[in-house]
């Protein structure tokens, strides 16, 4: 209570001091964003390290890995990440409203929903080879992809827990432990991959086995942190109450899943289309390298997305619409500055990026040809995730899902296909279409944020929390106590 009073006095004292208010908001943002950025970048780096080791085994296995990681894993990860974002909305608003015990219940509901969802999706991994053959990919690449896809099953089950726990912890600003565990994952993953691939010569099994081991180490560390008592206010143990009101959560989760999936599937479709172009092996490898580079930057932007979600959800839970608007302005300014930095770095080092992932001169040259387009993609990729985070914090995932579908599939994809095939620009044409989709999405979300009435969103958040609120045992005892 003392901290709350102190914060209110500090904010009131800074009402006329814009610089002071920006500094305070910036600290709140990075308290959530920095651990999230560290954890997402290091986790994604583990995937890229695996890609790098596989790329130096053979170009066919690299193309197979690119297909699985960019198509199947992005497909599944998009669903899991999207459905898990319901946890961000609910936990963030519950924390803002000081309904701490509900956060643990929301976490358990998300585990239940996500585990069932992933189990339903398992046939996609088991039948990867015939799926890719049916889609017209070369037989050697399809067989390599089929073998690699089986290893990704363990990895994706680890994602169910790591994604939801990270969102649960960052809602209460305790996600620094996730950052440390993710750093530990990368520190272990690199030498373990080197040992399995280079020293013991386990090949693909060694590279993928290392990824699975390091991923589950993070999950076990998170379990120890939560069950060990470091989340005493929000984790009250397993509770059958988590199975109540499951269908409204599923509905919100599906909206969240569509919002993320429509974006990630778009990139997956482009990689698939690249496989039908001239010199498919080089096209797939080069395109996936560029997408993974933007994905690396996107992991940083997802940190800001998480911060946007937490800040908006917390302030909506507290009922402060003015604080929501101010937080969005600071978040957007920070994101644009980061985008400009990555834009400059990509223009400067674009010619050398391809050699990080392959020894093949053709792949490296194709990546170099895309470097300018890649730079502008990274600029726009830094902006729209903030708007998506704001939407998740407010529970507006369904609206963003519609916007994603229009911008990516009715604008970006047709433009990319036309330029790639009709004008014979090949992979470069696909990337121009991608850039058109991202640019349109950024403009559309900007307009949406401008039109939102945050006072109305405060009332909606309050109604949602009241509808799903479950009494603590102490509150239930007081209600039944005749005294």
pLDDT averaged over the chain? 81
Q: How far apart are CA 78 and CA 91, in angstroms?
A: 20
Residue range 176-188: mean pLDDT, rounded? 91
Residue range 427-446: mean pLDDT, rounded? 87
pLDDT per residue as tens digits for the range 69-116: 877 887 788 788 777 777 777 787 788 778 888 888 889 988 988 898
In the prediction, which pLDDT does 335 show? 87
Determine the Cα angle at 187 with ends 183 and 189, to 5°.
110
- Asked whether the beta carbons of 397 and 259 are under 8 A apart, the reply is yes
Residue 5 predicted with pLDDT over 50: no
Give the residue with greater pLDDT, 165 vs 461. Answer: 165
pLDDT per residue as tens digits for the range 344-384: 888 887 677 766 666 677 777 777 777 788 888 888 888 88
- Can you list the alpha helix ranges (DSSP code H) found in 135-175? 139-171
Residue 54 predicted with pLDDT over 80: yes
Contacts of residue 376, defined as CB under 8 A and 6 or more positions apart, other chains included, come to: 343, 435
Give the residue with greater pLDDT, 251 vs 238. Answer: 238
Give whichever of 145-154, 227-236, 246-255, 445-454 has the largest mean pLDDT: 145-154
Q: How far is CA 71 from CA 44, 63, 268, in A?
A: 16, 12, 5
Contacts of residue 24, defined as CB under 8 A and 6 or more positions apart, other chains included, come to: 10, 11, 14
Q: Would you tell me how many other CB atoms lie within 10 Å of the CB of residue 44?
A: 20
Q: How far apart are CA 449 and CA 456, in angstroms?
A: 13
In the prediction, which pLDDT does 473 show? 58
The residue among 367, 395, 297 whose CA lies nearest residue 338 is: 297
Lowest mean pLDDT among 130-139, 276-285, 440-449: 276-285
Q: How confident is the model at residue 194 (pLDDT cuts 50, 70, 90)?
A: very high
Determine the Cα angle at 68 with ends 64 and 70, to 5°.
110
Q: How confident is the model at residue 8 (pLDDT cuts 50, 70, 90)?
A: very low
In the prediction, which pLDDT does 427 show? 77
């Amino acid at each position: 209570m003392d901290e709350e009073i102190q914060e209110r006095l500090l904010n009131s004292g800074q009402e006329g001091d814009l610089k002071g208010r920006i500094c305070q908001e910036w600290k709140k943002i990075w308290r959530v964003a920095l651990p999230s950025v560290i954890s997402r970048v290091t986790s994604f780096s583990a995937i890229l390290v695996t890609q790098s080791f596989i790329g130096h085994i053979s170009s066919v296995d690299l193309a197979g890995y690119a297909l699985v990681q960019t198509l199947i894993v992005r497909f599944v990860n998009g669903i899991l990440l999207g459905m898990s974002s319901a946890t961000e909305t609910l936990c963030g608003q519950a924390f803002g409203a000081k309904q701490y015990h509900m956060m643990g219940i929301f976490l358990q509901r998300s585990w239940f929903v996500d585990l069932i969802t992933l189990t339903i999706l398992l046939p996609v991994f088991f039948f990867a080879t015939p799926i890719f053959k049916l889609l017209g990919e070369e037989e050697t690449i399809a067989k390599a992809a089929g073998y690699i896809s089986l290893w990704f099953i363990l990895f994706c089950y680890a994602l169910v827990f790591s994604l939801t726990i990270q969102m649960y912890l960052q809602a209460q600003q305790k996600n620094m432990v996730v950052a440390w565990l993710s750093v530990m994952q990368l520190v272990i993953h690199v030498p373990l991959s080197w040992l399995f691939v280079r020293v013991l010569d386990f090949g693909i099994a060694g590279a993928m086995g290392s990824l699975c081991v390091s991923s589950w180490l993070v999950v076990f560390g998170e379990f120890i942190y939560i069950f060990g008592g470091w989340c005493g206010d929000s984790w009250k143990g397993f509770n059958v109450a988590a199975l109540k009101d499951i269908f409204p959560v599923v509905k919100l989760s599906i909206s969240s899943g569509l919002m993320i999936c429509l974006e990630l599937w778009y990139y997956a479709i482009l990689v698939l289309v690249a496989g039908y172009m001239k010199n498919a092996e080089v096209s797939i490898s080069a395109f996936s390298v560029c997408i993974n580079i933007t994905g690396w930057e996107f992991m940083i932007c997802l940190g800001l997305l998480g911060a946007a979600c937490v800040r908006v959800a917390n302030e909506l839970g507290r009922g402060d619409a003015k604080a929501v608007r101010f937080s969005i302005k600071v978040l957007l300014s920070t994101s644009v500055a980061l985008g400009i930095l990555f834009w400059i770095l990509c223009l400067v080092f674009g010619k050398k990026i391809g050699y990080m992932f392959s020894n093949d001169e053709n792949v490296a040259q194709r990546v170099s040809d895309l470097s300018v387009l890649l730079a502008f993609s990274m600029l726009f990729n830094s902006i729209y995730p903030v708007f998506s985070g704001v939407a998740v914090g407010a529970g507006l995932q369904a609206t963003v899902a519609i916007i994603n579908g229009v911008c990516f599939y009715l604008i970006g994809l047709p433009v990319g296909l036309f330029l790639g095939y009709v004008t014979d620009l090949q992979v470069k044409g696909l990337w121009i279409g991608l850039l058109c989709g991202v640019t349109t999405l950024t403009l559309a979300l900007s307009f949406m944020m401008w039109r939102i009435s945050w006072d109305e969103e405060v009332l909606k958040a309050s109604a949602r929390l009241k509808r799903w609120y479950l009494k603590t045992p102490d509150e239930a005892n007081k209600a039944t106590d005749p005294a």
